[in-house]
Amino acid sequence: MPRHAPRTQARRTEAGFTMLEMMIVVIIMAILALALMKAFGGAKKGAYANEGKTVGSSYMQAISQYHADFANHHPNAAAWSGSSPAATAERGPLNLTAQPYMKNIPEGVSAGRVGVSVNVAANCGTGAAPSAPAGAGAQTSWVAVCYMTEPRFFIKVYSHKASGAPWDAANGGAVCFMGATTAAPKC
C-alpha cells in the first residue's frame, strides 16, 4: 500500500485550477480591459479635437481670403445658412463654402461629425459648451466662428463630446482658439 500513495497524491495536484486561481486571472483580465478602454477613449477624444481643429483652420483660411477680396469686411452671417440671397451682394458669395473661398465643405461638416455656428452669442462668449440647434446631437466637435470689429474674428473649437450626448458643460469644452483673440490655448 505505501507504494500507491504518491500516485494518488500526484493525481490530486494535477486536477485543475482552484477557484482562487481562476478569480485572480479574471481580475487581471478585467484590469487590462479597463486600461485598454481608457486608452481607446483618449485616442477618440484626440481624433475629435483634431478634426475640429482642421475644420476651424479651413474656415479661418476662407474668411482671411474673403477679407483680402472685400476690404476687410466680414461675410454676412445670415449668408452662411444660404437663407438670405439678397442680404448683401456687395459682400461676395452667399456662402464661404462657395469657391474660391473654400473648395469643398470640410468632410467632417458634410458628414455631420462637426457642427459649425456663426456669431451665436453663447458659443462666442464665455459659455462652456456650444449652443447647438435642435437635432444636432450627433456632432463630436463644434467650430464657432465669432466676428469682432472688422476685420477681426476668432474661431473657437469645441470637442470632448461622446456621440449622441447633449452639448452641455459636462460634455463640451473649448479645446483651442484661432484668430484675433488672447484666449488660450491657441490651436
| pLDDT, tens digit only, all 187 positions of the chain | 555 555 555 555 566 778 888 999 999 999 999 888 877 766 777 788 888 898 889 888 888 888 887 788 777 655 444 444 444 444 444 456 555 677 777 888 888 888 888 777 778 876 666 766 555 567 888 888 888 888 888 988 888 776 667 776 666 667 788 988 888 888 8
pLDDT given for residue 2 in this prediction: 56
DSSP 59-121: HHHHHHHHHHHTTTPPPPGGGGGT--TTS-GGG--S-TTSTTT-SS--HHHHTTSEEEEES-H
The residues facing 173 across adjacent strands are 159
For residue 34, give its domain range. 18-179
What's CA 116's distance to the chain center, in Å?
12
Q: Is residue 10 part of a domain?
A: no
Residue with cell string 452662411: 80
Total structural domains within the chain: 1
* Residue 186: inside a domain: no
Give me 119's grid cell: 456669431
Is the full-model pTM beyond 0.75? Answer: no
Order of strands across the sheet that contains 173-179:
114-118, 141-147, 153-159, 173-179
Q: Please report the pLDDT score of residue 93 as a whole number.
A: 41
